[in-house]
Structure formats: structure tokens, C-alpha cells
Amino acid sequence: MPRETMKAKRERALAGAARMNEHYPAAECALHYGGDPFRLVIAVLLSAQTTDAGVNKVTPALWERYPTPADLAQADVRDVEGIIRTIGFFRTKAANCVRCAQMVVADYAGEVPRDIDELQKLPGVGRKTANVVLNEAFGIVEGIAVDTHVFRIAHRLKFAGPSADTPAKTEDALLKLYPRECWGPVNHQWVLFGRQTCAARSPKCGECFLADLCPSRGA
């Protein structure tokens, strides 16, 4: 097969984006954070290699015990471990939660920074988390949050090539492909699509609304 031109790939991507908007017009963050940017930071931090449902089961008790960044900054890490112990890597995440709260209080006067570089200075916060927080909490779109779902779908759709073998490289490929106005909805929509249709194992290609746009269908 001839190599797909960037123009053709972009047209395919935009067609897919239009269908995503039709199927998921109100896609939103599945993590419960009560509209509080700091709680969103902590919830996304906890969600690494853990389901959103699993995070939502432990955060109510965490917020009740430590309702503000200042409260969490003074927490005993072992107590936080006890609250979140049902999720993966709970010890590392508990330590990061407390250290993150301490930095927010000490360096940012208790307010979550609205800058992608400053956000990534927080313990446990990488570019994916920073993108989610900026987009969801502040309506600031600086990039596309690439989690396991977005990474998988980008490669199945051949929107990212074999050399884009990290989340950062995959994000770069997507940013070059999509116009900026399309960046915001990608993560929430693709997460839903990944859970419902384009699963890691046994994707439902036969009922996929992107099947005719997907080079990997049936593979």
C-alpha cells in the first residue's frame, strides 16, 4: 500500500473527530473531584495504573479526612496509605499526595498553578496529569493527555507511527495532526471509546463507528 500522505491522514483524523463528537458530545472526566482543582490533581495522580472507579471509591474518605491542601500537607503518610490501600502502588502514591500538597502550600500559596511546566514540578505529576488538570479544571488546552487508551487508539488508527513509542512522542504526533480546537475533547472521548469499543483485548471492530477509517480493523 502507498504511504498515506499527511493531508489524507489529517482528513481521516478530522472525520474521526466528527464522529467522536456525535457519539460522545458530553464526554467528561470520570473522576469525582467536586470542582476543586487540587482534588483533581490528587485524583489523577491516584489514577495511574488504576481504574477511575477504584479511585472514586477511596477519595471520599481522603477528602473527608484531609479537605484542603494544608490539611493533606500535614498528614501522616501511613494514614494516607491506609485510606488508599485498595489502589495500585498505594505507598508511592500516598507519599506523592503528601509531598504534592506540601509543595502546593509552600510554593503556590495553596493554589494549583495554571501552567503546564509549574504543574509538572509537583511530585507525581507528569505531562498527562498536567494536561488533564489544565483542560478539565481551568479550560486551558496546552496539549493532549495521552494515557493508555489514547496511546493504544492513536497507534491502531495509525495516527502515530512506530517511532512514537512513548506517550510524549504520541502526543507530539497527535498535536501535529489535529488543529488546536480539536485537542480538548480527545482524552475524555477516546477513554470512553477505548473502554466501550476499542479495548486492549478483543476490540469490537464489527460494531465500531470508526471501522472504515481504521487501518487496523480486524487485526
- Considering 9, 128, 169, 172, which one is annotated as catalytic? 128
Contacts of 193 (CB under 8 A, 6+ apart): 20, 23, 24, 149, 153, 210
- 115 shares a domain with 22: no
- 112 shares a domain with 43: yes
Whether 122 is in a domain gets the answer yes
The pLDDT value given to residue 1: 54
- Whether 147 is a known active-site residue: answer yes
The pLDDT value given to residue 110: 97
The pLDDT value given to residue 218: 76
CATH number for position 128? 1.10.340.30
3-state secondary structure of 165: coil
d(CA 180, CA 198): 24
Query: Last residue of a domain, which of 114, 138, 162?
Result: 138
Strands (E), the chain: none
Whether 218 is in a domain gets the answer no
- Considering 57, 147, 158, 176, which one is annotated as catalytic? 147
Query: Last residue of a domain, which of 89, 116, 138?
Result: 138
What would the pLDDT profile of 96-117 be if each residue is shown by its tens digit? 999 999 999 999 999 999 999 9
What would the pLDDT profile of 154-182 be if each residue is shown by its tens digit? 999 999 999 999 999 999 999 999 999 99
Q: Which domain holds residue 153?
A: 6-28+144-213
d(CA 145, CA 109): 26
One-letter amino acid of 83: I
d(CA 152, CA 158): 10
- 43 shares a domain with 134: yes
What would the pLDDT profile of 30-68 be if each residue is shown by its tens digit? 999 999 999 999 999 999 889 999 999 999 999 999 999
- Whether 128 is a known active-site residue: answer yes
- 100 shares a domain with 157: no
